[in-house]
A and B are shown apart, each in its own frame.
Chain A
Amino acid sequence: MRIVFFVSLAIFALIAPFLFYPVFLMKLLCLALFASAFNLLLGYAGLLSFGHAAFYGTAGYVTAHALTNWNMSFEFGLLAGVIAATLLGLAFGMVAVRRLGIYFAMITLALAQMAYFIYLQAPFTGGEDGIQGVPRGEFIGLIDLKDNVNFYYVVLGICVLSFLAIYRIVYSPFGQVLRSIGQNPDRAVSLGYSIENYKLGVFVLSAAFSGLAGGLSVIVFELASLGGASWHLSGEVVLMTLVGGVGTILGPIVGAAIIVTLQSSLAEAGQWVMFIQGAIFVLIVMAFRKGIVGESLDPHSDVRKALRNIKRKATDKEAALSRKSRGGEK
């Protein structure tokens, strides 16, 4: 069952660029990676960051700058972005992990807003215009990335490797400690773990993967803009993760697919997209806190129970009907 699922997913991912617009798929993959990186923090360590766009946007600007003005190659440009996001993650993390829960969310939001205002005014970001015409270059000097299908496979490869790395982190001893911190920080302390260091560690990891996603997306769109660092994107990544399922590996990917598809299919609806996103937030928080993947994996979930009840009632009715009809024949 599992193998069938993953094999069909792989086949789909390989033929997808011939069925859909490759740039759309690349955007989806970048945001799926971004959401997975975010989920590493919220889903396992229980830390809600409301300023994750800072890492996505920072890496985007640095990558764009490195490719456009320093003529770096694709790989090194991406690496420069990841390093920038990692350092920023370290700086933000050192301020933010000292506070818990709600404070953490507010502080990360405020820090990200600070970064946003700096990018709005700093000369190297191009302000409202952003950095335009970022060259795509070649992958390891061989594959021409100006071709969308080629580029799609490179993005797919990078994202799949990152998903595997995140999976590996989550199920490593480090990941186990993170989960224990998320579930019961006091006990984690009493077991001798320095939880602030673990939190800082996962925060920096999450920032690094967010940076990878941000750098990639800038090369895909050949544009680095303020939108990549806005609070709105920080909110969107929370939404994707919630919709798909917090604390599941597949959840953020499913969530990103749903939200990106929703956005592109409602592109003409303008501001109503934001309204719908807000409504989804409310709906998820009130009714499906585990998200789509979370609810479908959990045999005890309320949604499943409700479905089972409906099914049982239906079969009961059928049974009663068939008994009746049999009785009638006699």
Chain B
Amino acid sequence: MLDIFDISIQMVMAQVAIGLINGSFYAMLSLGLAIIFGLLNIINFSHGAFYMLGAFIGWILLSYLSVNYWLALILVPIIVGALGVIMERFLIRKLYDVDHIYGLLLTYGIALMLQALFLNLFGVSGEIYPVPAILEGTMNLSFMYLPIYRGWVIFASVIVCLSTWYFIERTKLGSYLRAATENPELARAFGIRVPILVTLTFGAGVALAAFAGVMAAPVYQVSPLMGVDIVIVVFAVVVIGGMGSIGGAIIAGFGLGIVEGLTRVFYPEASSVVIFVVMVIVLLVRPSGLFGKAV
């Protein structure tokens, strides 16, 4: 069948690999969005902006304070997570009693502010973040040469996703989180401090976005526009996976990355819309998403 398209297996595998890299970022971002949505019931439009912020803080730390990549991978999520905690505490918290769409609008406003701020400071042209020395070079996978850094991105993202899933589904604190998602009043009645849990969850979700941002810095250019480009795609990924489903977000993230990569082989013009087309089909067939519970 491949002969008909005159496309070599190498090309397909190469695009699948690129798809997996994009999918790693979709998975990490949609995971954060899904966790935040599950507990706070808001769609965090600023998720992409925090991803961009993560990449930029990483770049600023490297350029001005020569903080290396590995340290940035730890420091940046802490910094951005702290910002998220402040944002939840002083802004989002005031909106829990009103319609959920106000949460979306608030975070949209914050996303605009952050994006505009960085556009003013650094302009549209991206900044380059060098690949850390240890991860330079390429691996020979027989069908293609994979830059080692990109291999590391896939590896790290799988680890992060799995450990987040494990934390939420298998640990005690994770069970508190699930209880608070299911029924916040009852969880409080059992002595779980839900407001603190909510604050920390938002901080953690945002920190995850920042982590993805630092990971992305050497792959893509560090640009103020990198967040909006990805966040709308990630919205579609979350809708496809099923809102609030942690596993669904991860699987849909990687899966759609691959679908996008394959589309680039067979019909390149459609690669930027294929995820949205999949979303439409999924919504028509299963309105609550592939892994979501029917609402």
A residues with a Cβ closer than 8 A to B are: 48, 50, 95, 98-103, 105-107, 109-111, 113-114, 117-118, 120-121, 231, 235, 238, 242, 270-275, 277-282, 284-286, 289
The contact of B119 among A113, A120, A274, by CB within 8 Å, is: A274
Decide if B283 touches A282 in the complex (CB within 8 Å). no
Q: How far is the CA of A322 from the CA of B212 in the complex (A)?
A: 67
Majority secondary structure of chain B interface residues (helix, strand, loop or mixed):
helix
B108 contacts the other chain (Cβ, under 8 Å)?
yes
- Contacts known (A110-B236, A111-B280, A275-B112); A285 close to B106, Cβ less than 8 A: yes
Q: Complex Cα distance A274/B109, Å?
A: 9
Using CB atoms, name the residue of chain B closest to A235: B108
Does B269 lie at the interface of the complex (its beta carbon under 8 Å from any beta carbon of A)? yes
Q: Give A92 to B290 CA distance when docked, in angstroms.
A: 20
B residues near A117, Cβ cutoff 8 Å: 272-273, 276
Stretch touching chain A among B91-99, B157-165, B215-223: B91-99
Q: B120 is contacted by which of A95, A109, A275, A277 (Cβ under 8 Å)?
A: A275
A242 CA to B108 CA in the complex, in Å? 13
Q: Is the CB of B120 within 8 A of A272?
A: yes
Question: Chain A residues with Cβ under 8 A from B141's Cβ?
Answer: none
Task: Give complex CA distance A273, B112 in Å.
Answer: 10
Interface size class, chain B: 35 or more
Taking CB atoms, residues of chain B closer than 8 Å to A273 are 116
* Given known contacts A106-B43, A106-B239, A271-B119, A281 and B280 CB-to-CB distance under 8 angstroms: no
Kindly state whether residue B228 has any CB partner on chain A within 8 Å: yes
**Distance to closest chain B CB from A213 (angstroms):** 22
Q: Assuming A95-B283, A278-B109, A282-B109, is B104 touching A105 (CB within 8 A)?
A: yes
Q: In the complex the two chains form, what is the Cα distance from A113 to B238 in whole Å?
A: 15
Once A231-B228, A281-B108 are accepted as A-B contacts, the answer to whether A109 and B235 lie under 8 Å apart by CB is yes
Cβ of A99 and Cβ of B116 under 8 Å apart?
Answer: no
16 contacts between A and B (CB under 8 A): A48-B101, A48-B104, A98-B287, A101-B99, A101-B100, A101-B101, A106-B239, A110-B235, A110-B279, A113-B232, A114-B276, A118-B273, A231-B232, A270-B120, A271-B120, A279-B113
Flag if A285 contacts B95 (CB, 8 Å).
yes
Residues of B near A99 (CB, < 8 A) are 283, 287
Q: Is the CB of B112 within 8 A of A286?
A: no
Of B101, B112, B116, B117, the contact of A235 (CB 8 Å cutoff):
B112
Is B284 part of the binding interface, using a Cβ–Cβ cutoff of 8 Å? Answer: yes
A279 / chain B contacts, CB cutoff of 8 Å = 109, 113
- The reply to whether B276 and A110 form a contact with Cβ atoms under 8 Å apart is yes
Task: From known contacts A103-B243, A118-B273, infer whether A109 and B110 are also in contact, taking CB-CB under 8 Å.
Answer: no
Name the distance in Å between B46's Cβ and chain A's nearest Cβ: 10
The listed residue (B102, B110, B235, B277) touching A278 by CB distance below 8 A is: B110
- Chain B residue with minimal CB distance to A98? B287
Q: Are the CB atoms of A285 and B276 closer together than 8 Å?
A: no
Are B112 and A277 in contact, with the CB atoms below 8 A?
yes
- Name B232-289 residues within 8 Å CB distance of A: 232-233, 235-236, 238-239, 243, 269, 272-273, 276-277, 279-280, 283-284, 287
CA distance A105 to B101 in the complex (A): 8
Take A272-B120, A277-B112, A280-B109 as given contacts and tell me if A110 and B273 are in contact as well, using a CB distance cutoff of 8 Å: no
Q: For chain B residues 71-95, which have a beta carbon within 8 Å of chain A?
A: 91, 94-95
* Chain A to chain B: the 3 pairs with minimum beta-carbon distance, closest first: A281-B109, A278-B112, A278-B113
> B29 at interface (Cβ–Cβ under 8 A)?
no
* A281 & B228 in contact (Cβ 8 Å cutoff): no
Asked whether, in the complex, the Cβ of A105 is within 8 Å of the Cβ of B43, the reply is yes
Q: Measured between C-beta atoms, what is the minimum distance from B185 to chain A in Å?
A: 20
List 20 other contacts, CB 8 Å, given A117-B272, A278-B114: A101-B99, A105-B104, A106-B43, A106-B239, A110-B232, A110-B235, A110-B236, A110-B239, A114-B276, A121-B269, A235-B108, A242-B105, A275-B120, A278-B109, A278-B112, A281-B106, A281-B109, A282-B113, A286-B94, A289-B98
* Nearest-neighbor residue (CB-CB) of B106 within chain A: A285
How many Å lie between the Cα of A242 and that of B269 in the bound state? 37
- Is B91 in contact with A102, judged by CB distance below 8 angstroms? no
Select B116's contact among A231, A238, A272, beta carbons within 8 Å: A272
Do B43 and A102 touch (CB < 8 A)?
Answer: yes
Contacts of B287 in A (CB 8 A): 98-99
B91, closest chain A residue (CB): A286
B206 at the interface (CB under 8 A from A): no
Q: Determine the distance from Cα of A109 to Cα of B104 in the docked complex, in whole angstroms.
A: 12
CB distance from A143 to the nearest CB of B (A): 40
CB distance from B207 to the nearest CB of A (A): 22
Smallest CB gap from A270: residue in B? B120
Assembled-state Cα–Cα distance A289/B98 (Å): 10
Most buried by A among B102, B239, B269, B280: B280
Which residues does chain A contribute within 8 Å of B43, judged by CB atoms?
A: 102, 105-106
Q: Is B115 an interface residue (CB 8 A)?
A: yes
Measured CA separation A102–B276 after assembly (Å): 17
Q: How far is the CB of B125 from chain A (nearest CB, A)?
A: 14
Whether, in the assembled complex, B111 has its beta carbon less than 8 Å from a beta carbon of chain A, the answer is yes
> With A and B bound together, what is the CA distance between A45 and B106 in angstroms?
21
Question: How distant is B27 from chain A, measured CB to nearest CB, in Å?
Answer: 17
A residues in contact with B42, CB < 8 Å: 102
Contacts of A95 in B (CB 8 A): 280, 283-284
